[in-house]
Amino acid sequence: MIICGLLLGLVLLETGLRLGGFVYLSWQEHNNRLSLKQKGAYRILCLGESTTALWGEDSYPNQLEEILNQRNTKIRFSVINKGMPGINTEGIVLLLKDNLDEYAPDIVITMMGINDDWSTTAPFDYTPTKNIALFKSFRIYKLARMLALNILNKAKKMGIWGAGGKEATLKEYWTNAQLGYSYNNHGEPDKAKEVLKRCVQLNPKNVCAYIELGWSYWSEAKYDKAEEILKEAAEVNPENVRVYINFGLIYKEQGKFDKAEEMFKKSLKIDPKSEWACASLMRLYREQGKQDELRKMLRENIQLNSQGNGAPTMLACYYNELGDSQLAERYFRETDRPDFYNPVTCHNYEKLKEIVTERGIKLVCVQYPVCSVEPLKRVFRDQRGIIFIDNEKVFKEALKKSSYSEYFTDMFGGEFGHCTRKGNRLLAENIADAILREGVNK
């Protein structure tokens, strides 16, 4: 009877907390929306990695704002770009509530998951399980956690407790990394270096922090210092392919093509299946006019593609340029691989959806260019209320009529890479059409 009474009490408490939370959030969102409407701007918050963050005015969020405001909707749009290079879905979710509190958006757009590698995804080990995820979803757990954190915070102020915990450290890491990127993007490398050095201190084993710090020096054309930082990254993880690819890109920018080729080949030696390394080397050959080497790599990739190597989209474009339409079409058909949706990605997508929809905010999930949207839809147990953006057809049609380099600067994602201004324009136009068709008007 005592056990049954306790269980019944917990059930009633959980129900009361959920009902109270729903009422409070509904009231809060009602007031937020009234406040936003008075200001007259319809706010859109874009979250993601470097595919969202990069290129400033040429980024897709910046062009999305321009396109939406040019449409005859009688609505003024404000688009906020909170993408960050190197971040994974865990980092995006950790910063989500702060971003929502700061910007109070009407719509949240996400394009994420590619940085959630199957081996090393977060700057700290994180392996969520279904049982843990279920337990953490209970309001009782959240109430207990809130009370515990409150007690710890008071203890810290009194000098009784000093450690901030794993989640606090992880959040500080991504906050500093986000600041570092922001400073880099706004031409303030000195400030970027200051916070990125803090990232390295927080987790000296995370290669992403070194790479972004190297970019700070790279942006100032301090190539020697950038190389020095990358050497430190190589000492931390000598088997990390990204380090040597970045070495190659730095050498390529300086016109040291032989060294660049050496680094790209070294990255392929470490991981023969690395599509980014393979694509970087093929682009180097193509830009240097080394047709024989390029054709050799294309022939090699006919055998290697079954093992996952080959960057199918770029191969399709190259064969299209060489006039081999049959092979081009073959590789276009091989770009439907949803490799990057692992359990961590799925868990964080669900968590992001829960946080966003609880606040009454519209969620838009964007699939990466060239890829099928179906795997993204299957990430969610309940797809209701989500606007999905399919970028497969529009990009494939565009690539059949043009060269790969017109739409992408690299091939880091296998089927796709970071978009050029033209690629981001196509991405922004497709998102704008879907938002106006399914989101704002309804």
Q: DSSP labels for 37-65? A: HHHTEEEEEEEESHHHHTTGGGSHHHHHH
- The residue written with tokens 């990466």 in the block is 368
Could you give the C-alpha distances from 354 to 27, 350, 374, 383, 388, in angstroms and in order?
Answer: 18, 6, 20, 12, 16
DSSP class of residue 119 equals S
Angle 48-211-55 from CA coordinates, rounded to 5°: 45
| Side chain identity, residue 433 | D
Query: Start-end ranges of CATH 3.40.50.1110 in the chain?
Result: 41-116+346-440
**DSSP H or E run through 264:** helix 257-270
Decide if 83 contacts 52 (C-beta within 8 A).
Answer: yes
Q: What is the pTM of this model?
A: 0.61
Decide if 289 contacts 258 (C-beta within 8 A).
Answer: no
| Side chain identity, residue 260 | A
Could you give the C-alpha distances from 346 to 91, 159, 349, in angstroms and in order?
Answer: 14, 39, 5
CATH 3.40.1650.10 fits 139-332, yes or no: no
Q: Which residue numbers in the chain have pLDDT < 70?
A: 17-18, 20-40, 117-139, 141-169, 184-186, 299-315, 318-324, 327, 330-340, 414, 439-442
Report the C-alpha gap between 147 and 15 in whole angstroms.
Answer: 19
Report the C-alpha gap between 209 and 113 in whole angstroms.
Answer: 18
Phi, psi of 45 (to 5 degrees): -105, 120
Tens digit of each residue's pLDDT (9 = 90 or more) over 285-333: 878 888 788 777 776 665 444 444 445 666 677 666 666 677 677 666 6
- Helix, strand, coil shares, percent, the chain, to 5: 65, 5, 30
Decide if 83 contacts 61 (C-beta within 8 A).
Answer: yes
Report the C-alpha gap between 285 and 263 in whole angstroms.
Answer: 14
Could you give the C-alpha distances from 122 to 127, 133, 246, in angstroms and in order?
Answer: 10, 17, 20
Residue 272 CB partners (closer than 8 Å, separation 6+): 304, 307, 309
Report the C-alpha gap between 335 and 332 in whole angstroms.
Answer: 6
Query: Start-end ranges of CATH 1.25.40.10 in the chain?
Result: 139-332
Tens digit of each residue's pLDDT (9 = 90 or more) over 252-265: 989 999 999 999 99
pLDDT at site 128? 40
Tokens of 72: 């005859």
Decide if 424 contacts 46 (C-beta within 8 A).
Answer: no
SS3 29: helix
**DSSP H or E run through 22:** helix 2-39
Report the C-alpha gap between 275 and 270 in whole angstroms.
Answer: 12
386-389 and 107-111: which strand pairing?
A: unpaired
> What is the separation of C-alpha 325 from the centre of its chain, rounded to a whole number of angstroms?
33
Give the residue among 111, 130, 32 at the shortest CA–CA distance from 358: 32
* CATH class of the region 41-116+346-440: alpha beta
| Side chain identity, residue 379 | V
